[in-house]
Amino acid sequence: MIDSSQQQIHILRLLPGEDLRISVERYLHLHQLEAAWMVTAVGSLTAYRIRMANRNKAANGFGFFEILSVTGTLSIYGVHLHICIADAEGNAIGGHLMEGCIIYTTAELVLESSDILKFTREQDGAYKELKISEKKNRDQNAP
């Protein structure tokens, strides 16, 4: 269990033309977040680039798409995000969020982070998978 006093909420609003993944990664590095997760996300895209399960190549599309959800684990050591979007007819597509998802009108994101955890990625078979560890208490070394 995580002590909620050790957590922070981060709210981002992305603007037209920004790349969703690049913007999230920039925010992580700017704030040096070592353990975070996506709480919710809404908005729209004019272009998407999504990699489906067990595929090496990403699917691309252009038009107008609603962001239905974004979910995943985040840190300065690696990002694993999935996205689900819908086209004008309501047809949904989803998979791994790649660079190339360009904001149309807005993207409103809520992240939560922990001060006591650290998310890294370690090779596990073909993929780098999540490793969760507890940060060392910085006060332990104080005299």
pLDDT at residue 139 greater than cutoff 90: no
Integer Cα distance of 45 and 70 in angstroms = 13
Alpha carbon distances (Å) from 21 to 30, 43, 88, 100, 106: 14, 14, 23, 8, 14
Q: Say which CATH topology domain 4-134 has.
A: 60s Ribosomal Protein L30; Chain: A; (3.30.1330)
Cβ(51)–Cβ(29) below 8 Å: no
Reported confidence tier of residue 123, pLDDT bands at 50, 70, 90: confident
More confident residue, 137 or 111: 111
> Is residue 4 very low, low, confident or very high in pLDDT (cuts 50, 70, 90)?
low
Q: pLDDT digit string (tens) for 89-100?
A: 999 999 999 999
- Under the banding of pLDDT at 50, 70 and 90, the label for residue 2 is low
The residue-averaged pLDDT of 54-73 equals: 95
The helix/strand/coil state of 22 is: helix
